[in-house]
Amino acid sequence: MMQRLRRWALELYAFFTTPFVVKNCLGMMGLFSLILLLTFWWLRCYTNHGESVQVPNYVGMGYREASKKARSRGFDVAVSDSVYVLGKAPGEVLSQNPKADSRVKEGRTLYFTIAKNNPDILKLPDLASGDDYEVYSRKLSLMGLKPRIVARVANPILEPNTIVAVIYQGDTITDKIRNGFKVEMGTPVDFVVSDKVLLNVNIPDCVCQTLDAAKFLIQTSSLNVGTVIPNGSVNDPGNAYVWRQSPKYDPNIQMRVGEQVDLWITQEKPAECTTSTEQR
């Protein structure tokens, strides 16, 4: 038995040591090694394995400047969206994807959201009788508008915070909403809402309102219109604007029901009213 195994071992050794077999084995090993090397090289080139760059922060730059800098770093650039944001310059980069400081492969496309020039025109939602201010104001906030309460009127019938009137840019538009009244995105929409019956009421904010709107605010606050004092420019009091009131508007101070509010008016809407409205 041992002799037979020894004979087989000698025959195998003789076979694998022949020049023909050695040459073919070495050739197969070389070919296999070459295939492995080519495969790893191809995968490295295809995936850029181990190579990445850090994404700079382009938010706040103008689109032209941001795209120029991004392309100089080897990125491609595309605009994914454009939205109107009050106070932002047209073309300003508002957000980017991928975000700043993330690491990505060279040649990656950066997607920018930029500010556009003109605000969207939005139609106000229908206003039903007895609408609650909190519910309606959430709808406006989701649309990109800025709802705010400018006056509260004591009412023993209505629930507190029920919408009594809607004012836009100094004009009462309550009855116009059902016809699809449209406003600019980002602008304030003012509300007069109901309140509990109290002996004291909040001072309404009449400055920058038209005289008619100011009178409406005062009367719905259970106060009285006092002296109306025009300056030399007033020739049409109905369309004049309030530039001063007494007592001054202060959300932390109240007046007794029935007291008077004096108004100073001017014909043209004061320039500071536009700035004040945007900041509120």
pLDDT tens per residue, range 163-188 = 999 999 888 898 888 888 999 888 89
Which domains, from first to last, does the chain contain? 54-115 (3.30.10.20), 119-197 (3.30.10.20), 198-280 (3.30.10.20)
CA 102 to chain centre: 23
E strand or H helix at 146: strand 146-154
Whole-number pLDDT of residue 102: 87
CA dist., res. 243 & res. 18, Å (int): 110
The CA distance from 226 to 218, in Å, is 10
How many other CB atoms sit within 10 Å of the CB of residue 199? Answer: 10
The overall average pLDDT reported for the chain is 83
* Per-residue pLDDT, 178: 80
DSSP state of 200: E
Between 8 and 68, the higher pLDDT residue = 68
pLDDT at 42: 65
**DSSP codes, 158-182:** SPTTBEEEEEETTEE-GGGGGG--E
Is residue 154 a contact partner of residue 198, using CB atoms and an 8 Å limit? yes
pLDDT in tens, 16-58: 567 765 676 667 777 777 787 777 666 665 555 446 788 999 9
**How far is the C-alpha of 190 from the C-alpha of 209, rounded, in Å?**
11
Over residues 68-98, the pLDDT tens digits come to 999 988 889 999 888 877 778 888 999 999 8
Per-residue model confidence as pLDDT tens digits over 51-62: 678 899 999 999
| 91-146 pLDDT per residue, tens | 899 999 988 888 888 788 999 999 888 888 889 998 876 689 999 999 999 888 89
Assess whether pLDDT exceeds 70 at residue 232: yes
Position 277 scores a pLDDT of 46
State the pairing for strand pair 171-172/163-168: antiparallel
Statement: residue 11 has pLDDT above 60: yes
Q: pLDDT value at position 195?
A: 81
Res 191: pLDDT: 93
CA-to-CA distance for 60 and 92, rounded, in angstroms? 6
Q: Which of 5-9, 103-107, 201-205, 231-235 has the lowest mean pLDDT?
A: 5-9
279, pLDDT greater than 50? no
Q: Average pLDDT, stretch 232-247?
A: 91
Quick check: 114 and 91 in contact, CB under 8 A?
yes
From the list 193, 150, 143, the residue with the least C-alpha distance to 169 is: 150
- On whether the CB atoms of residues 229 and 245 are closer than 8 A, the answer is no
Is the Cα torsion angle 178, 179, 180, 181 positive or negative in sign? negative
The pLDDT of residue 193 is above 70: yes
Question: What is the model's pLDDT at position 12?
Answer: 61
**Burial environment of residue 252 by CB neighbours within 10 A (0 to 12, 13 to 18, 19 or more):** exposed
Contact in structure between 156 and 150 (CB atoms under 8 Å): no
Q: What is the pLDDT of residue 82?
A: 86
**Residue 278 in this model has a pLDDT that exceeds 50:** no
Query: What's residue 280's pLDDT?
Result: 44
pLDDT for the residue 44: 62
Confirm if 50 and 105 have CB atoms less than 8 A apart.
no
